[in-house]
Structure 1
Amino acid sequence: MNILQLKESITAIAESNQSVSEKRQEICDYLKQEIDYYHWVGFYFKNGNAAELKLAEFAGEPTEHTVIPFGKGICGQVAISNENFVVPDVTAQDNYISCGFKVKSEIVIPIFVNGENVGQIDIDSHITNPFSEADELFLEFVCKKVAQLK
């Protein structure tokens, strides 16, 4: 994984003349294509004033989990904790929402705008324990770029 090249590409997408939704979709598509163990990449955002997340753009197999209550699953826990959550093995998690039998691990990084957790990037992998600190730091960078999209 060439982090510098990935960051340059994410920055170029963020600065393109597309709509915010198109930029987020392109980021999902790009990450899924470029990082071989990112099998599903998606954005969830706070659903208005409701205590739930709503699926926005994603790349990968469709999911039935288009709305996730705060506290439920990994994404719902990040909505409350405001902290990164790396799950090396989803079978070891009690509060996990299965998105399919292929998913073995997950990483969720919150997106902050003016200090408020407005959403998150959610990545599933079909490999057990593929995510490193480098993934975490890179995805924090991606989330900062997404938070600045206009």
Structure 2
Amino acid sequence: MTFEQLKPQVETIVLNSEKTVDKRLLNICELLEKHIAHYNWVGFYFRNGNKEELKLGPYVGAPTDHTIIPFGKGICGQVAVSNQNFVVPDVAAQDNYIACSITVKAEIVIPIFVNGENIGQIDIDSNTPDPFTEADERFLEFVCAQVAAIL
């Protein structure tokens, strides 16, 4: 399924106010992991209150021990500080990478902004080397903008 085909499905999930926000976020994770072959772990991290750390939200994929990530640590922690997309074609080449699984080869993290503030991010791990393109970035920016509307 193409990114363009997935966009209306993301919108439908977001607009389903009968479900909790966490359930809608989980449904987005499930949708992306199921329909995009190189998305092997899909999850959300959010700022943990006023603390300088991220807390794991809904996700789909292998269990992770990384439920709390300090700002600046790992790819997610760096995005919390930089407010910039971070695409990692080869996680083995990253000094500040937190390994979740030995099968992960690449990662992409896109921040979520609410009223101009970085409040969280979508994090995607891939078992495929260098799979992420500019199309992935644009699509995930769209997903984050949709998610921001319900946060």
Q: Normalising to structure 1: TM-score of the pair?
A: 0.98
1:8 aligned partner:
8
Partners of 2:10 and 2:23 lie apart in 1 by 13
**Structure 1 position 99, deviation (Å):** 0.4
- The one-letter amino acid of 1:11's match is E
Partners of 1:39 and 1:67 lie apart in 2 by 20
Structure 1: segments with no counterpart, 5+ residues: none
Per-residue displacement from partner, 1:68-127 (whole Å, max 9, x unpaired)? 000000000000000000000001100000001000000000000000000000000001
**Structure 1 position 136, deviation (Å):** 0.2
Identity between Structure 1 and Structure 2 (%) = 61
Per-residue displacement from partner, 1:29-79 (whole Å, max 9, x unpaired)? 110001011000000000001100000000001100000000000000000
Per-residue displacement from partner, 1:2-31 (whole Å, max 9, x unpaired)? 122110100010111211111000000110
Structure 2: segments with no counterpart, 5+ residues: none
- The one-letter amino acid of 1:147's match is A
Partners of 1:129 and 1:4 lie apart in 2 by 21
- The one-letter amino acid of 2:7's match is K
2:91 aligned partner:
90
For these two proteins, the number of residue pairs brought into alignment is: 150
Partners of 1:97 and 1:2 lie apart in 2 by 30
Q: Normalising to structure 2: TM-score of the pair?
A: 0.98
SS at 2:147 equivalent: helix
